[in-house]
Structure 1
Amino acid sequence: MTMGTHPARFDAASLKAVLGHFATGVAAVTGLHSRTPVGLVVDSFTAVSLDPPLISFCVAHTSTTWPRMRSSEGLCLTFLAADQRDQAQRLATSGPAKFHGITWTPSPAGLPIIDGGLAWLECEIDTEHPAGDHVIVVARIQHLAPSNTTPAPLLRYTGTYGRFTEDSR
């Protein structure tokens, strides 16, 4: 039997509800467009390869931010900490005020690293792969660093933000 020959027996809302039961970390993806910080939030980050050092994330075709970020000299991903829910929500919205109230430090290439994050990766876009209603972005890591502290990560689960609590067993 060939994959894709039978129509799905569920709707997009059901699929989104089921997939939301997989807890994920939250990353801010940032860049510069005309020397102005631009960014969005992804919960679709994954490590792809150690050699060469590649990561990936997905962006909806409907994103109005991604076309501006694509022209950036690179991208910076910051893994957000549990106390950065407000920054995640701000970067997940549309509009020019996304960075209002968000402090950041320049990466080696001058890209925004969100202050207070768990770690950051400075990357160059390697390839983009259309996939349904999203594009899969594969990026090559150029620089990276963990934070000097170990705060809890910001998580996304069933459409809401939350935090990890360690099992004390």
Structure 2
Amino acid sequence: MHDLFEFPADGDGLRRAFSNFPSGVVAVCAEVDGVPHGLAVSTFVPVSLDPPLVSFCVQNSSATWPLLERADHLGLSLLGTDQQAAAKALGARNGDRFRDSELHRGTGDAVFIDGASAWIEGVPEAQVPAGDHTVVILRIHRLATRSDIEPLVFHGSKFRRLLAS
């Protein structure tokens, strides 16, 4: 017999249930008006191979997304296990979000964080309203990976590493 805990389907209950599902941590970044801007998302999903599409969700209350959506290209950095400080800085409401990060430029306005396990560059193709978030669909133009860097995982409201069995 296993313990089963039921929660109401409200914001708190959903947060508790969703914390049981591990997700990667992705930095969404661009340079707008000569200044780098970025935010962290844990709602990144591959959507399509043909055409190459991914999606991520942004809170409607985000003050950063209105700046990023003006960019011609976005840089997505799939953060690595040693980038917990960068993930926390990108998730903060105030302060220098890139204080612990080395950046490199991509095409157009795209900006990437060095040390990530993968980089995806693309152009926003659609935005779909979804409750208190917006789903952004990005068409991929370029990508790169590093096999020597493990991805940073968010699970149980904590950053974690994957363990090989």
Matches within 5 A, 1:94-133: 94-95=93-94, 97-109=96-108, 111-133=110-132
Q: How many residues align?
A: 159
TM-score norm. by structure 1 comes to 0.89
Matches within 5 A, 1:14-33: 14-33=13-32
Structure 2: unaligned runs, 5 residues or longer: 1-6
* In 2: Cα distance, 1:61 partner to 1:10 partner: 20
* CA-based RMSD: 1.5
Whether contact under 8 Å (1:32, 1:73) holds in the other structure is no
Misfit runs of 4+, over 6 Å: none
What corresponds to 1:93 in structure 2? 92
What corresponds to 1:53 in structure 2? 52
* In 1: Cα distance, 2:50 partner to 2:94 partner: 37
> Is the partner of 2:89 in helix, strand or coil?
helix
* In 2: Cα distance, 1:9 partner to 1:95 partner: 32
1:9, CA displacement in angstroms? 4.6
What corresponds to 1:4 in structure 2? none
What corresponds to 1:155 in structure 2? 153
**Cα deviations across residues 39-98 of structure 1 (Å, max 9, x unaligned)?**
001111011111111100000001110000000121110111011000000011123511
Q: Which amino acid aligns with 1:155?
A: V
Structure 1: unaligned runs, 5 residues or longer: 1-7
TM-score norm. by structure 2 comes to 0.91
